[in-house]
A and B are shown apart, each in its own frame.
Chain A
Amino acid sequence: MSTTAPAKGQGGGSAPPRKAISYREALTQAMREEMERDERVFVMGEDVGRFEGAFKVTRGLLREFGERRVVDTPISEAGFVGIGIGAAMSGLRPIVELMTVNFSIVAMDQIVNNASKVRYMFGGQVACPVVLRMPGGAGHQLAAQHSHSLDAWYAHVPGLKVAAPATPYDAKGLLKTAIRDDDPVVFLESEGLYAKKGPVGGPDDLVPFGRAAVRRSGRDCTVIAHSRMVWVALAAADALAREGVECEVIDPRTFRPLDLETLAGSVRRTSRAVIVDEGWPECGIAANLATHLYEACFDWLDAPIARVTSADVPMPYAKNLEQAALPAPADVAAAVRRVIGRRPGGAA
C-alpha cells in the first residue's frame, strides 16, 4: 500500500478526488467554512489578522470576516485564552490561536484550571466550546524554549479533548469537528507539516474524534504514531517493506477520546507494537499508549512494546544535536527490527 493513499476511515467515499492543498490551507479552509456556517465562531490570537498568522494559517480571514471576527490580541496569552474561555461560556465559539504550543504554557492556568473544569465543577450548567489551536514540534533549530511537544500534558487533563492531525484531510476534518464540539478542544498542529499537501474533504466531511486511521496495513508489527511522526513511521515502514517486513501504521488522531479498540485490534493481529512520539519519554504519549496496550493485549504480545521518543533532554540548538534528539525513520525501523527479533537486513 502506498504511503500517500488516503487512509481508511477518511470520508470521501465515491466522491471525486479533490485537488491537493496544504495542511495550512486545509486549516484555513476549515475555519472559513465554519465561520460562514456559524456566526458565533470567531478567531482570536497574536497577529492572526493583519499579519495573517505567524504561520499564515489565518490568511485572508480578516479581509473576509472583518475585525469583529478576526481579533488581533496583544502578547497576553493568559489573558486572551481566558477571554476565549469566558466568551465560550457565554455561548460563542472562539477559535483561539496560540502562536505556538510553547506559549500555551503561559496560559496553562486558564486551560487546566478553567477550560477543562467549568462544565464539571458547576454541575453541567455551562459549556466551554473553545478551540485552542497551537502548532508545536521541533526540527527547525528553534532550541529549548521553542521546540516542545506537550501533547501528553494536555492528554493528561480530564475535561479537555485533544486532537493532533497528521494530514491535510484530517487537519480540515478534525478542526471542523473541534469547532462544532461543545467541549474545549486542544488542537495540536505541527509546524513541520504546514506545507504538506494532500486531498481534503468538502464542507460537510467531518473527521470524528475517537476514530484512529490505519495509514498502512501490515501483519508483522503495529507502529503507532501521530502528527508529524506518522510520516516518520511511514518512511520506516517503506524501508522495512524492502526487507520483507510489513508494518501496520496507525494514527490515533485524537487522544481524548482515544480509539483504543483500533490500536488493540491491530496489536492482537501483529502481536508486536512500536509507539513513536515526538515528546519526551517519561509519562509521555508513548508511555500511556503502551500501558493501555499492555492492559488490553497482554496475552497477545510476543515481545515487549518499544517506544521511540525524543531524547530525555531539553531541545538543543545545534542541528546535529537536534537531529540526534528527534525520532527518525531509522530509529523506528531499528525498534521494529528489535521487537520482531531481526537483525538489519537479516533473518530472524
Chain B
Amino acid sequence: MSSGTAPRIATSPSPRPEPDEMRAMFSSMWLIRRFEERAAEEYMRGRIGGFLHLAIGEEAAVVGAISALRPTDPITSTYREHGHALARGSDPGRVMAELFGRSTGICGGRGGSMHLMDAERHFYGGYGIVGGSVPLGVGLAFASSYRGDGAVSLTMFGDGAANQGVLAESLNMAELWRLPVIFLLLNNQYGMGTSVERHSADEDLYKRAEGYGMPARKVDGMDVLAVRAAVAEAARMAREEGQPSMIELLAYRYRGHSMSDPDTVRAADEKERWQARDPIVMFERVLLGEGVMTGEEIAAERARIEAVVEDAAAFAEQSPEVPVQELARDVYANPWSDDPRGSAIMPPGPAAPAGGGA
C-alpha cells in the first residue's frame, strides 16, 4: 500500500480487556500524548537539548503492545521511547528529569531523551543506532529461554530499521533457536524523510519474517485494541510454544522525525488523513460507546494527567544538575582509577604474583 492512504486491514472486532484495564490504557495513552507535547514545549524553551523524537500519533502502538505483556517481560526500543517508559509505569518526573539532563533523571542525566531505561521495570532501554537494539531484544529472549523463566521479550523498531542487516540476522537466529521474542515493527511510513515505498522493495515489511519461517502479520497500529490483541497472541505463542513472531503495526507520527526536522517532505493532506484516525479519539469513542467511561470521567482523567505532566516538568526543573565530579561514574563496575575524567591507567599497587613459565 502507498504511504498516503490510511490502513485497510480487515479486522474482526478485537476482544475487550477488562474495563479497569481499558481505563488504564486510556490514561497511559493520554499521558504519553501530553508528556510529549510538554517535552516539545520544554525543548523550544531550551530546557531539553540534543535530539528529541516524539511519539505523538503512536500511542496506540506503544500502549497496546505494552499492556498486553506481563510487567516482567523485557522491552527494548529506539530513541522514540518516552512512551515505553511511561507505559511501563516509570515515574513521569524522573523521565522528564532525564530529558532535562538532571541528576534525578531515570538514567542520572547520562542518557537523555534517546536513552531512557528502567531496568527495575524490565524496560531495557532506548537506543540511538537504527536497528542496533533488535538483537539485544533477541538476547533478552535467549536469556529467558536459558533460565526458563517464562518471560517474553518485545523489541520495537521502525520501518527504516527493517533495512538493517542485523534484523535479518536476528530473525534467523530467533526462529532457528525458537526464542520467545516479539519483533514489533512500527511502520510509521517514514524513516526520517524517506517513505516506505522509496526505501523498501516490498512494502509489506512483515513478510521479511516469513522468509525465515516465522509467523508474521500486519495490524492497524492506530487501533489500540487491535494492537493489544495481536501482541497478546504473539506473547502466548512465544510463552507457550517458544514461537517468535513479527507484527507490523501501521501507524503515523504526527510530528517531524525530531524537533529539528521541519517536516517538509510529507504532504499536508496525508497528515490530515492519518490524524482523522487519531488513536486516542478512536479509543475514546469505544470507551464511551461501550459505557466503559463517561464523558465526565474522561474529562476528569485528562485533568488529572494534566497535573501529572505539570508536576513532572516542575520536578525536572527543580532537580539539581548532575555533579561534574560524577563524569566518570559507571564507566566500569569496579573502576581502577579515581581520575575524575576517567583513565585507562592502573594506579600503582602491590606487585602482581609472577605468572607461570620463567
Contact = CB atoms under 8 A, between A and B. Distances in A.
Interface of A: 46-47, 50-51, 54, 72-79, 102-103, 105-106, 140-146, 281-282, 311-314, 316-321, 324-325
Given A141-B50, A321-B324, A106 B112 contact: no
A313 B328 contact: yes
B165 A54 contact: no
B128 A75 contact: no
A145 B79 CA distance: 11
A324 to B, nearest CB: 5
A148 to B, nearest CB: 11
11 contacts: A46-B191, A51-B193, A72-B199, A73-B199, A74-B163, A106-B129, A145-B114, A312-B328, A312-B343, A317-B98, A317-B111
A316 B322 CA distance: 10
A317 to B, nearest CB: 3
Contacts of B101: 141, 317-321
Given A312-B344, A313-B331, A318 B109 contact: yes
Interface residues of B, number: 44
Given A312-B341, A312-B344, A144 B110 contact: yes
A53 B91 CA distance: 37
Contact of A313 (B192, B321, B327): B327
B130 interface: yes
A190 to B, nearest CB: 17
A321 B194 CA distance: 34
Contacts of A319: 49, 101
B321 A106 contact: no
Contact of B194 (A72, A146, A314, A316): A72
* CB-based closest 8 A-B pairs: A51-B193, A317-B112, A312-B342, A141-B49, A318-B101, A74-B163, A141-B50, A318-B109
Given A51-B265, A318-B109, A75 B49 contact: no
Contact of A143 (B115, B131, B191, B344): B115
Given A51-B194, A75-B130, A106-B129, A317 B200 contact: no
Contacts of A50: 193-194, 265
Nearest to B337: A312
Contact of A311 (B130, B132, B163, B328): B328
A78 B165 contact: yes
Contacts, number: 136
Query: Most chain-B Cβ atoms within 10 A of its Cβ — which of A102, A103, A320?
Result: A320
B212 interface: no
B131 A75 contact: yes
A113 to B, nearest CB: 15
Given A312-B344, A313-B331, A145 B129 contact: yes
Given A142-B50, A145-B114, A317-B115, A102 B198 contact: no
B231 to A, nearest CB: 24
Interface of B: 49-51, 98, 101-102, 109-115, 127-132, 160-161, 163-165, 191-194, 198-200, 265, 321-322, 324, 326-328, 331, 339, 341-344
Given A47-B193, A51-B192, 6 more contacts: A50-B193, A74-B163, A75-B160, A77-B164, A79-B165, A321-B322
Most A CB contacts (10 A, CB to CB) among B51, B112, B131, B191 go to B112
B327 A324 contact: yes
Nearest to A78: B165
A314 B331 contact: yes
A321 B327 contact: yes
Given A141-B112, A311-B342, A318 B321 contact: yes
A220 B29 CA distance: 63
Nearest to B344: A282
Given A311-B342, A317-B109, A320-B321, A106 B327 contact: no
B49 A140 contact: yes
A78 B166 CA distance: 10
Contact of B110 (A46, A74, A143): A143
A143 B165 CA distance: 24
B110 A316 contact: yes
Nearest to A80: B163
B204 to A, nearest CB: 15
A318 B322 contact: yes
Contacts of A141: 49-50, 101, 112
A72 B196 CA distance: 12
B342 A313 contact: yes
A78 to B, nearest CB: 5
Contacts of A102: 128-129
Interface centre among A54, A75, A321 (most CB of B within 10 A): A75
B50 A143 contact: yes
Contacts of A318: 101-102, 109-110, 112, 321-322
Nearest to B321: A320
B128 A76 contact: no
